[in-house]
Amino acid sequence: MTAALVTGAGQGVGRGVALALAGAGFGVVVAARRAENGEPVAQEIRDRGGRAVCVPTDVTVRDDVVAAVAVARTEFGGLDVMVHNAFSGRNSPYQLEEATLPDWDRASRSAMWASIYCAQAASDALAASGRGRYILVSSAAGVEGSANLPLYAAVKAAQRAFAKSLAREWGERGVTVNCIAPVAVTPALETAFKTNPALRGRLEGRTPLGRLGDPEADIGSVVAFLASEAAGFVTGQTIACDGGSFTGL
Amino acid sequence: MAGVLAQQLAYVTAIDARFGRGLADALVAAGATLTDSLERVDVLVIADIDSVERPVEAFDDDAIDMAWDRPVRDALTLMQAARAGGASRVIVVTPAVSLVGRARLSAACAAIEAKRLMALSAARQWRAHGVTVNCLATSLDPHPESIAPTVVFLASPASHYLTGATLSLDGGSELAL
């Protein structure tokens, strides 16, 4: 039995990753802050014949993360793949000098504190797996910076440096640590399209493949690859899955 | 002697450490005046070196705050205050180890890289206002005399067209960029 835990799995990229990992045969802990978001994803997986359980999880609360990993153990007998995707922060453009400490706190806690909590909670299980994977959802903004979302760029960069360090730290246990940098159509983005219809064309226009990613088919599939035996020699890396919009790595 | 930094007010962090002190002395030697207030400032140098070392499993909340959150939070507050105080030059020391990662240094590398990308993002936002923001990828134990000439250059008018850069300043020991 192989099992995966995905944070922020109630919608968007996290949901796509959960569906793709379930499709690849993993039992999936759908960790979502709100059960009303996570439960339908778990149900969708079960309806497709997969294994899934929803665990309401606030990733900024250490005990919540520990409890979600415990469910992976009881439901699926262990944990092979930890995916930290959840993020909460300002998502409309602002100047760095306008950022407040509560803005910082939200971004810092959901991205980095939670990355550490997930690592700590999953550490033993991933080592015991023999094929452990820790995958963090970062962003190209963490490489090139952002004139719109500076704190987002900062914490996404932090996750990359954290993953590189942890890849070195956990290498001797055979656990790999990688990031993805996705661009996908998410509910948040679709809301933005409604208020700013030109945005979709602008985003598609700077993507060589001419379209935005699908969370399951385009992003989840890459996570499923990183989770597979085939990617066992890949660690400390950031894989962009963005239609080629960022080529500066 | 007037020097290239004459009339410039410089704020240097970590001035109690040999490295920060050395950078501050070099700025003064180039004509700058040190200030301990950001209410009016020309040059901000963030010279703290983040190097809290422990395995990821060993971080309790206090340690996460010390190694990850506080250094970045402080850098954010300093950069905001310097912008409000009229700074035209921001220089952030970001050891090169964050570019490649190191075992037991996960939170420190995260903090360094967050500061670096905060600086890069600020460079994008502040270029229209004539504010340059650059980073120095040093070793974890840099000698001030090796770094100070570049800090003086970055603080000076001569570097006005250089922004958003991370300069590899480690004598070639990492070559990580």
pLDDT of residue A249: 64
Considering only CA atoms, which of A19, A13, A24, A2 is closest in space to residue A136? A13
Interface mutation vs chain B, best among A97, A143, A149, A249, most B CBs within 10 Å: A97
Q: For chain B, what are the domain ranges?
A: 9-169
Interface contact A24, partner B, CB < 8 A? no
Task: Give me the residue label for tokens 């806690």.
Answer: A109
pLDDT of residue A188: 81
Considering only CA atoms, which of A67, A168, A73 is closest in space to residue A129? A73
Tell me which of 3.90.105.10, 3.90.420.10, 3.40.50.720, 2.30.30.60 is the CATH number of domain B9-169.
Answer: 3.40.50.720
Question: pLDDT tens digit string along B86-95?
Answer: 999 999 999 9
Q: What domains does chain A contain, in order, with CATH numbers?
A: 3-186+214-241 (3.40.50.720)
User: In angstroms, rounded to a whole number, what is the distance separating the alpha carbons of residues A91 and A187?
Assistant: 13
Sign of CA dihedral A225, A85, A180, B176: negative
Interface contact A93, partner B, CB < 8 A? no
Show the tokens assigned to A100.
């407040």
pLDDT of residue B2: 72
CB half-sphere exposure, B22, CA atoms < 13 A: 16
Res. B174: pLDDT tops 90: no
Phi, psi of A207 (to 5 degrees): -110, 115
> What does the mean pLDDT of chain B come to?
96
Does residue A152 carry a catalytic annotation? yes
B/e letters for A173-201, b = 16+ CB within 10 Å, e = fewer, are eebbbbbbbbbbbbeebeebeeeeeeebe
pLDDT of residue B171: 87
Sheet with A27-32, strands from edge to edge, namely: A52-56, A27-32, A3-7, A81-84, A133-137, A176-182, A238-241
Residue segments in chain A with a per-residue pLDDT below the cut of 70: 1, 249
Question: pLDDT tens digit string along A137-162?
Answer: 999 999 999 999 999 999 999 999 99
Interface mutation vs chain A, best among B41, B79, B118, most A CBs within 10 Å: B118
| Interface predicted TM-score of the whole assembly (ipTM), two decimals | 0.97
Res. B176: pLDDT tops 80: no
User: In angstroms, rounded to a whole number, what is the distance separating the alpha carbons of residues A6 and A209?
Assistant: 27
Show the tokens assigned to A225.
């690859």
Sign of CA dihedral A135, A138, A142, A143: positive
All residues of chain A having their beta carbon less than 8 Å from the beta carbon of residue B55 are 169
Res. B147: pLDDT tops 90: yes
Chain B, nearest residue to A123 by Cα: B57
Question: pLDDT tens digit string along B43-85?
Answer: 999 999 999 999 999 999 999 999 999 999 999 999 999 999 9
* Cβ atoms < 10 Å from Cβ of A232: 12
Question: pLDDT tens digit string along B1-27?
Answer: 579 999 999 999 999 999 999 999 999
Question: pLDDT tens digit string along A21-30?
Answer: 999 999 999 9
Chain A nearest CA to B175, separation (Å): 16
All residues of chain A having their beta carbon less than 8 Å from the beta carbon of residue B109 are 161-162, 164-165
pLDDT of residue A192: 85
> Residue B121 and residue A162: Cβ atoms within 8 Å?
no
List CB contacts of A92: < 8 A, sequence separation 6 or more: none
Nearest by CB to residue A96, choosing from B57, B73, B122, is B122
User: What's the mean pLDDT in B125-149?
Assistant: 97
